[in-house]
Amino acid sequence: MVFEHFALNVENPIEAANWYVKNCEMKIVRGSDKPPYAHFIADKTGRLAIEIYKNDSAAIIDLNSKHPLEFHFAFMVKNAEETKQKLLANGATFFEELHLEDGSHLVMLRDPFGVPLQLCQRGVPMMDIEL
């Protein structure tokens, strides 16, 4: 098996997808302007996608009521502080920040729609991917 995507039912899928494209170096690989407005957004490697949609047959989670440790999107970044400041300036909100003994700098934010997202500047990279 190969992981294809993670899906999330949200209130404003088109707006959310566009925010990730503008602010997180993602690209829309498939999108629809008809219900359920499904948008598949991929990271710049094209190896991982998130599906964001609004399907009225299922509940939309109150994302702001969920602790970021329940689930979050995690992004590898070169400079967590710089990326944190950029995302905060574009509507994200701060949750917490950690500096680990191995040199990792982890920042937990929420996007403007409530989705928890983590910035991972790893002291020891987990994957061999050029940022």
In this structure, how many other beta carbons lie within 10 angstroms of the beta carbon of residue 63? 18
Give the Cα separation of 16 and 90 in Å (integer).
Answer: 12
**Domain identity same for 78 and 100:** yes
Neighbour-count burial for 35-52, b at 16+ CB within 10 Å, e otherwise: ebbbbbbbbeeeeebbbb
**Domain identity same for 68 and 28:** no
Number of domains in the chain: 2
**Domain identity same for 48 and 67:** no
Residue 87 is inside which H or E element, if any?
helix 80-89
**Domain identity same for 79 and 99:** yes
Tokens of 117: 């997202």
**CA distances in angstroms from 92 to 46, 72, 84, 96, 118, listed in the order given:** 24, 14, 9, 12, 11
**Domain identity same for 36 and 86:** no
**Domain identity same for 116 and 69:** yes
**What range does the domain containing 126 cover?**
63-131
**Domain identity same for 48 and 77:** no
In this structure, how many other beta carbons lie within 10 angstroms of the beta carbon of residue 19? 22
Q: What is the CATH number of the domain that holds 50?
A: 3.10.180.10
**Domain identity same for 72 and 131:** yes
**Per-position pLDDT tens, the chain of length 131:** 988 999 999 999 999 999 999 999 999 999 999 999 999 999 988 888 999 999 999 999 999 999 999 999 999 999 999 999 999 999 999 999 999 999 999 999 999 999 999 999 999 887 777 77
